[in-house]
Structure 1
Amino acid sequence: MAELPGQLTLVVCENVRREVLAVLSQEQWGAVRVVSFVPRGGERGTGLVELLGQTAEAPGRGEQVEILAGMCFRAAQVGLPNRTRFRLHLVEHCAQLFLPREMVQRYLARGVRLLLPREIVEPHNGCTPREAAACPFLAPERPSGLVLLDSGIDPNVGLAFEAFARQMRLPAEVLPVGLDTLRLHLGNLVQEWRLEQERRRLTASLSEAIRRSSDHALALDLIGELAAVATEGEVIERMLDLFTLLFTPGRLTYLSWRRGHPGPGYGRPGPPGEPELQALAQADLARDYGWLPSGKGFLLRVHHQDEVLGLLEVDELALLAYGEHYLKLGLILSKVCGLAIAQARSYERERRAQERLRHQAYHDPLTGLPNRLFFYEQAEDALARARAEERGLALLFVDLDGFKPVNDAFGHEMGDALLKEVAGRLVRSVRNGDIVARLGGDEFLVLLREVASPEDAEVVARRILANLRSPFRKGEQEICSSASIGIALYPDHGEDVQSLMLQADGAMYQAKQAGRDRYVVAVPMESGSGENVPR
C-alpha cells in the first residue's frame, strides 16, 4: 500500500460511497481517501480489515482513519485489530447522513423502510430487492411503506424504485434529500481532523516553551481547557486567564474580529472602555505583533491560517527584562488560541447549518409554514396529550376554491403570491399554539388544540372563511379567493392522525360539492348516518 503522509482515510458504508465521492469531488479538502464496506460483509469488508491493520502497524506515517457509518458497520461483521488507531462516528441509521435524526426516527417509528439509491440499483451482495428489504439490520421485515432518499446523483433510480415498490406492494414516496446534510457531516469531520493535526503541532511547541515557567502545570491545564470549551466567548475568557497567569500584565484588552470588522471586546481586570477598543481597532500591524509605544507591552494578532480573529493588547508587563521571551511565548500562544477560536466558530457554523437544514426539512419553502411531516409529528404529540388529559382537538382540512384558474390566468408568480398571502391569513385566524401547515399545492391543514366542543372549531372555520374572502391585491391585479373546509374532531371522528385527516378530507370535498366557500363537520363515527351538513 502506497504511503500517503498526512492523509485522512474515510471509511463509509458502500450504500453511501457514491454520494460521499460526489461531495468530495465538489469540495477542495485535500488528500481524503475513501474506503467502503458492504453492510453484509464480503470481500470489501476483508479489504477494510487489512487496511486498518496496516494503519495500526504504521501510525507514524500521519494517516488518520475516520469511520462514518450507521449501525450497519457492526452488522457488516468487520473485525478490527485491537491496535487499530481510528475514530468512530456512528449514527443510528445511514439515513441520518441525509436527514435530521428526529425525522429518521419518526419514519422508523411508523415502520417505514428508508432506502438509499444504491439499495435499489445495486442490492446487497447480489440479493434481490425483496431480500434486501427484509434485512433485519436495515428495516422491519414487513415495512408499512417505502421512502426513497433521493440524493440526486442517479437520474434512473426513480424508475427502479417505482418497480421495487410495485413488487413489494407497498405505498411509496420519493423524498429529495440532496447532499447538503452529508456535506455538513463530511465537512465537520475533515475540519476536526485538520484542527487536531494543527493543535498537536502547536501544543507541542507551546508546551516546551511554557515548561520554562514556574506555573507551567496550571498553564498546560488552561491550554487543555481551550480545546474543551464550546463557544468563542469561553475560549477568549480562558485565553485571558492564560495570559494573566503567564505574563502577570497590568492590563489585557482583546478585540474580536469578524469578516474584517471589529466585534465585542474583552479585558482584564475589567471590561475595556470604548476609547480603548477604538484605538485597538485602528492599530496597524505590519506583522503578527508589535511593541506598544510605551515599551511596556506588545500587541498580538490572533489568527488562524489567513483569517484575522482578533487583536490582543498585553500592557504593563510585570518583568520588562523578560519582554522578548514573553513576546516569543505570546506568539506561540496566540496561534494556539487562534486555533481554538477557529474551532469554536466552526462549531457555531455547524450548529447554524444543522438548524437551517432541520428547518428546510420541516417547512414549506414557499410559504415558510410547517410541512406535512412536521404537522404529522405535532399532531401525534397533541393527540397523545389530549388522550392523557381527556381533552378534545380539531383538525381542519382547507382547500382553496378555484386556485388553478388563477394560475392559468395570471401565471405562477401570482399564484405563489396568493399562496403566501393565504398562509399569512390562516396563521392570523388561529390562536398561538395552534398549527397551520401546507400539505401541498393549494391544500392546508390546521390543528386546533384544546377544543372543548365542535362549536369552537366552527368559530375558527368561520373566521378563516371571512379572512380569505377579502380581496387579494398585487400591483394592479385583484383576486377574490375562498376555501372549502372539512372539520374532524378527536375523539368523535377518529383516534389517530390518519383517521382524522381522512375524515376532514372527506368533509372538505362535501363542502366543495355543496357550493364551496363553506365548511362541513364530519359525522361522528358511531352515528352511521354518513350525512355531513354544509355550513
Structure 2
Amino acid sequence: MVFLGACSVRPQAAQLPGQLIPLDHCIIMLIGPERWKHATRSGSYLLTPGWLRTWRAQIAAWGFKQEIAREFFQETTKELVLLDTGVDPDAATYLAELAAFVDCPSRIEPIGLDYLRLYLRDLILTKRIKRLETHQREVLKEANRKIAEYAMAFDLLIQLSSIQSEEATIHAIRDLFAMLFGCSDPTYAQVRGGQMVQFFPTLPTFTVHSIFEQLLVATENDYILIDEPAGFYLRIQYQHESMGLIAISNIAFPHHRDQYLSLALAITNLCGLALANARTFSMLQEAEQALRYEREITEHLRQTMSDLTSDLDQEQMLHKVMVQLEQLIPHQMALILLREGVMLRVASAQNLFNDARLIGTYFAANQQPFAAIIQRKKAIILNHDQLANLTLLEPELTRDIRTWMGVPLLQQEGVIGILIVASTQVNAYSANHVMIAQVLAHEVVIALQNVRMFQEMHTLAGTDPLTRLYNRRRLTELAEAAFRHAQKTNGNIAAIFIDIDHFKDVNDTFGHGVGDKVLEYLASLLRQVRSSDIVARYGGEEFVIISIGHTTQHVRLFAERLRQEVAQQPVNLPEGQIAITISLGVASLTPQIESLAALLRFADQALYQAKTSGRNRVCVWGETA
C-alpha cells in the first residue's frame, strides 16, 4: 500500500507497486480525520516528531526566511501542537526551537501509536475483505457457469433417457458433447464385448483409432488428454462395462479444458446409463418380437398338437409332422431320424426326389454331423461347403443342398432323434427358423412320448404282470376278432383251456412265491406257440390258447405234446425240483357254436371233464372220454 497526503505528487497508478491510498493529510493516520479537522479549524498547527526533526529543512524548502515564517505562523496559527508518539526523545527540544524561531506558542499532546495500528489494521482487513469478496464473486460466477452447464447437460441427458434406439442415443451424445465443449463432429466408437464394432460418423483416422485402442485396454483410466488439438478422449461406461469411446478435440476454449473434462466425466456415467437403457430396450423389443413370433408359432402348433397327440399311430403322426413342417419352415428335404442304440433310423422323410425309399434307412449315430448334434444337444446349421466334406446322404440328395439344419429331439435321458431340414437356397435358415424347429422338435418329442405311453399303457392294460401273457380282457378283444373272422371265412379256430393240477398244494407246500415261479415257467412254455395263436392267463392257474387255422385233430395233438412236455420236465427252482402236471380241455368251432363265449364255455367243460377223469390228460368237447 502507498499512502499519499495532500502535499504529495500523485504518480500514475501503473507506476505504483501496490494500492494507492490518498489522504487529506498524513497526520490523519495518527489522530483520525475528525480530530485533524477540529485542530486545523481551531488554529492548531499539528506537528509530528519526524517533521520536527527536519523543521529547518522543511521551512527552507518553503522558501521562508525567519521573518516571513513568523508572519505566516502568526497569521495562520494559534499554537504549535506536537503529536508525540514517543518514538523520538528529542521531539520536545525541536518543538521548542521551532516555537522560538516563529515566535508562536506550543504544546505537546501525547497520542501514542494505537490509532495508527488500528488504522492500518482496518485498511488491511478492508483490503482482504474486498479481495475475498472479489474471489467469492469469481467463484460464484464460475459456479453459476458450471450450474448452467450442468443444468443444460442434465436437460439433454433427460432427453437422452427417452431415446430408445442405441444409434439415436449415440448421435444425441455426440451432439451433447459438441454443444457443451464447442467442438465439431466428435468421433464415437461403439463398444460391445470389449471390442469396437462401429464408428460414428465415419471411420476414424489412424491416430484417433490408436488412442481409442489405448483407452479401451487401459481400464484403470477413463480418459486421455491431448494437447494438439486441445481436447480429450473419454470412456463411456455403465457398471464397469465399456459402452463406447468418444474423441473431443478442437475445444472452443483450450484454457478451460480441465473444467470441460470434469464436466464430461460427471456426465459419462449418465450417458452410459442412457446407452444401457437403449440396449436393454432394443433387447426387450427383440425379445418381445421373438416371443410374439414364438407365441404365434406355438399357437399354430398347439392348434395342430391335438391332431398329433390324438393319432396314436407313430407313422401317421410323423407324417402329420412333415405336413406341419412344410408350412412352418421352407425346405426341399426333411427327415426325422429316431435313435435305436448306436444307429439312427429314418422314421419319416420328405424331399424333392423320392421320400419313400429313405424311410427305414439307417445311419451311424457317430457319423458327422449327427454325432455333433447328439454330443452338443444343440441345433447346427451347415452350408454347402461344409456339407461337401460330409458323407451325409446319397450324393443325389445333397448335391443341390445349400443350407442344412439339424435339431436334436431332446428328452430327459438325452437325444432320442434328430429333425433335419435342408434347402437349396444359400443361408436359408436364421435364428427364428432354429427356434421354430426347436419348438416343433419339442412337440414331436411329446407326440412320440404319447404314442409310446399309449402303446405301453395298451400293452400293460392287456398284459398279465406276472406271466407277461395277455390277460383275460385282452384275450377277449383279440379272440373276438379272430372268432368273427373264422365264422365269416369258414375257417378253423379252437380254444384250449389249461389248468395246473393240484396247484393249491404247491402254494401250500412251498409258498406263493414258488407258485408264481411255476406259473412263470408254464407261461414260458406256452409262449412258444405260433405267432398267429393267442395265449393268455385266464385267471389263477388257468391259461387259454386260441389256436387259429388248425383242425381239431391238430389242436388235440398239440395239446397232448404240451401235456407230455410239462409232465416230463420238472420245474427247476432254487428251492429244488417241482414236478407238475396239467389238464387241458379243447373245443373247436362247429356250426352249433355261435359265439366266442360259447366256444370258451365248451372248452372249459372239456377241461372239467379232464379234471374229473383223473387229471394230467387232454379232453376234447364233443368226444367221449
Do they superpose with TM above 0.5? no
Given the two structures, how large is their TM-score scaled by the length of structure 2?
0.38
Q: Which has the larger radius of gyration?
A: 2
Q: Which has the higher contact order (CA 8 A, sep 6+)?
A: 1
